[in-house]
Chains A and B, each alone.
Chain A
Amino acid sequence: MSRRPLIVGPLLVLMAGFGLGVYHVLGTFKTDTTQPAANPTESTPVFTLPGVLYLSQHGVIYKLQGQKFTAITDNRGWMQPALLPDGTILAVRRDAEYSDLFHLDANGHVIQQLTNDKGKAIDENHWVFYPKASPVGSSVFYAFDQPKFGYRVDMAIWSSTLDSAAVTPRAGNGSLAKQWTSPDQYTGGDIEPIPLADGGLIYVGYGVTPKEHINATILLASAPLRQSKPLTNIEDDCSWPALSPDGRTLAMVCTHGSQVASLEVAAFDGKALGPPRTVVSSDLVSAPVWAPDGSGLAYLAPAATGGHFQLWWLAGAASAAVAPASTPSPASRAATPSPVASASPSPAATAVGGLAAPQQVTRNLDFDATSAPAWTAG
């Protein structure tokens, strides 16, 4: 009996397996930035931050404590967590055509739904975003898409006491919600409120530049519907204001009208900003948040061109801020030091101003860069 079939058969199987192997191995050479992001609960940070951070990815709010991520919500569109002084959380739950504010406990359980923005007709729905508690936690500030009529949908800053009947800011008589700003029409409006201890408000307003671009300005309002004072120049297109825990330094992201978003800091004396200094000269920075002790800033940025957004840490950012001159409003730019070589290959990791290079905290995740992290000492 010939032994040939005994050899040829397995060889043919091996050859077919080799062909399949080549097919699959080629697939493993795809660029990393085309691969799906990991689930944070299956990921370990490469750098440990103190305290507790809350971040949003794919509609879930995660708690990062030490080396461990924990999902504290389901995946129904949760985003933009903000802390109250008692450690409970304000958050947005975004549906396809509307969003609502919720008050959650520190473990993500719903204490109270604060708004009900679902409408019967499509244009009766509303968006509410960017919740922030007042420093004493008695009221909540947020961006809400009222005024709205026809094609016009612009957000304005509103505030209410922390009570569901009061927060739902239906315009008209009987509403306990208070409108703080009047947005420029057809610009998208006003967003990102930061209520101040003195009763004032920092926020971002969009307006039209002389060159007919729509850019962001960081503004200061002393009272509802009063004339706001610009803290930055409209040409600098600065947004994402983040006030340090001592209230003396403002971090922000500025594009200067380009597709580059750099992290800048400026001293704040309650009335005006000092000259802004660039602390991360990066291509794409978003959503900065101060450490609870003010020792530095965390922010979101991609680790590679076209990649998902990761969490980064920059130590000592407040030290780069320069005090405001006597009448510098809006702030004129300080001479920005030349960028220094980065210790990291990441495009997001070029620190300037003598600061240490930023450190990448997470890898292969996909944080929502429209949702600033919240950070507490825990």
Chain B
Amino acid sequence: MLLTLFGFIVSGGAGAFFYFLPVIQTAFSATGHNDLPAATQPPAGSSPRAAPGSNDPFTVLLLGSDNDAKFSSTSLLTQSMILVRVIPATKQVTMLSIPRDLYVPINGGGTAKIDTAFAYGGARNAIATVQNAFHVHVDHYVWIGLKGLTALIDAVGGVDVVTGNPVLDDFYPADLSGGNPYDYQRVAVLPAAQHLDGIHALEYVRSRHGDLREDFGRSERQQQVLVALRAKTKTLSATNLPDIAAALGNQLTTDMGIGQVADLLPIAGGIPSESIKHVLLLPPYTSGAQVGDQDVVMPNWSLILPLVAQTFPA
């Protein structure tokens, strides 16, 4: 009798194990990457870095890359860089979008657009560059690829977003369909409060050619979709996790361990949308310029650094 009962328990446990297996696999492959630069690692004997779940404020650098066939997997640019400061005690979040064309000293040498920092040395180099340029301390990072973002949004069943003005672009990259990655396609995301699947959410956050504010408009849209994604994750249950994990595959990496990610989710879910502050480095914080044959965004550090220091500690 006991043996029979044991058999059913083992069988049920095996069913549950295989159901959650994608979560376990992704937890091992995506989390715990030790990519933080030495300056971010705590010195011996000092208190550890701020960790999600500890109720201490912490700063996360979100990185998003075009990882399509145009780019080698070892030299990806970051199309999106968002510094996020989370203060669990007061349930406040600040999201600061860093223009991808911001012309800054790159860690390791030279001055270039900040999106190249990742290409020259991965997350470690991107974090070091941001820390040095903005005089901030980054506790953690999360990197996601294009396909990862679309798959993640589809895995959660889509997101609800108030898309602003019509996003019309005749030169949107047609690089996810498997053809020539240098081809273009037309997109039109019409304005409305609406439900977006992964592909259409990506069109909304990635298009920039038809926008008066170019990369700044795109940054604003990226923040909108991130907030919508956060709202959607609040509605999910643990049984949704295998779909999400399977969707992400190798499209997401973070230095946080699985325990820290688990601790972070209720914090993210508990922060009301109205407590999320959005910061864009529009003029006069930045200005357009030409360096060689490149269009770049020049930082006005005398304005940026005091602004950043208000929220992001060094």
**A interface vs B, CB < 8 Å?**
11-12, 14-16, 18-23, 26-27, 29-31, 33-35, 96-99, 122-123, 125, 127, 129, 145, 148, 151-155, 184-189, 191, 206, 208, 212-216, 237, 239-240, 253, 255, 258-261, 283-287, 301-302, 304-309, 366, 368-370
Q: How far is the CA of A349 from the CA of B283 in the complex (A)?
A: 40
Report whether A122 and B8 are in contact in the complex, using a CB–CB cutoff of 8 Å: no
Chain A residues near B4 (CB-CB < 8 A): 11
Distance between B88 CB and nearest chain A CB, rounded to angstroms: 21
Known contacts A19-B11, A19-B12, A20-B15; is-contact A366 B195 (Cβ 8 Å): yes
Q: Which residue from B11, B157, B194 sits with its C-beta under 8 Å from A309? A: B194
**Total inter-chain residue pairs, C-beta < 8 Å:** 189
- A33 and B235 form a contact (CB under 8 A): yes
B160 touches A306 (CB 8 A): yes
User: Contact between A306 and B156 (Cβ–Cβ < 8 Å)?
Assistant: yes
Interface residues of B in 178-194 (CB under 8 A from A): 184-186, 188, 190-194
A-B contact pairs, 16 of them (CB 8 A): A15-B10, A19-B15, A27-B19, A151-B171, A188-B167, A189-B166, A191-B166, A191-B191, A206-B165, A212-B282, A255-B162, A258-B162, A283-B193, A286-B192, A306-B231, A309-B194
What A residues does B161 contact at CB under 8 A?
A: 259
Residue of A nearest to B189 (CB): A370
In the assembled complex, the CB of A148 is this many whole angstroms from the nearest CB of chain B, namely 8
Report the minimum CB–CB distance from A227 to chain B (whole Å).
Answer: 21
B30 within 8 A of A: no
Looking at B166, B216, B236, the one whose CB has the most chain A CB atoms below 10 A away is B166
Taking a contact as CB atoms under 8 Å apart, the answer to whether A27 and B195 are in contact is: no
Q: Which of B157, B193, B236 contacts A261 (CB 8 A)?
A: B193
Q: Which residues of B lie under 8 Å from residue A188 when comparing CB positions?
A: 165-168, 191, 210
* Given known A-B contacts A22-B19, A370-B194, A186 and B210 have beta carbons under 8 A apart: yes
In the complex, the chain A residue whose C-beta lies closest to that of B164 is A214
Which residues does B use to contact A, with CB under 8 Å?
A: 4, 7-8, 10-12, 14-16, 18-19, 155-162, 164-171, 184-186, 188, 190-195, 209-213, 216-217, 220, 224, 227-228, 231-232, 234-237, 239-240, 243, 273, 282
The answer for the CA separation of A327 and B232 in the assembled complex, in Å, is: 44
Most chain-A Cβ atoms within 10 A of its Cβ — which of B8, B19, B210, B216? B210
Main secondary structure of the interface of B (DSSP, over half): mixed
Task: Tell me which residues across on chain A come within 8 A of B8, comparing CB atoms.
Answer: 14-15, 18
A187 to B164, CA, bound (A): 10
Could you tell me if A29 and B237 are in contact, using CB atoms closer than 8 angstroms? yes
Residue of A nearest to B241 (CB): A30
A145:B168 contact, CB within 8 angstroms: yes
B157 and A33: CB pair below 8 A? yes
Q: A23-B16, A191-B166 are in contact. Are A370 and B190 (CB under 8 A)?
A: yes
A308 CB contacts on chain B under 8 angstroms: 158, 195
- Chain B residue nearest to A21 (CB atoms) is B15
In this complex, what residue of A is CB-closest to B16?
A: A22
Residues of A contacting B16 in the complex (Cβ-Cβ under 8 angstroms): 22-23, 26
- Complex alpha-carbon distance, A213 and B165, angstroms: 10
- Contact for B192 among A12, A20, A260, A369, CB less than 8 A: A369
**Contact assessment for A26 and B168 in the assembled complex, using a CB-CB cutoff below 8 Å:** no
Residues of A within 8 A of B7 (CB): 11-12, 15
A259/B195 in contact, CB under 8 A: no
Q: 5 closest pairs, A vs B, by CB?
A: A188-B166, A34-B157, A22-B15, A306-B232, A19-B11
Q: Which residue of B lies closest to A26 (CB)?
A: B19
Question: A155-B166, A240-B192 are known contacts. Are A304 and B235 too (CB-CB below 8 A)?
Answer: yes
Contact present for A259 and B228 (CB under 8 Å):
yes
- Asked if A370 contacts B235 (CB within 8 A), the reply is no
Is A214's CB under 8 angstroms from B213's CB? yes
Q: Which residues of chain A are near B186, meaning CB under 8 Å? A: 96-98, 122-123, 125, 127
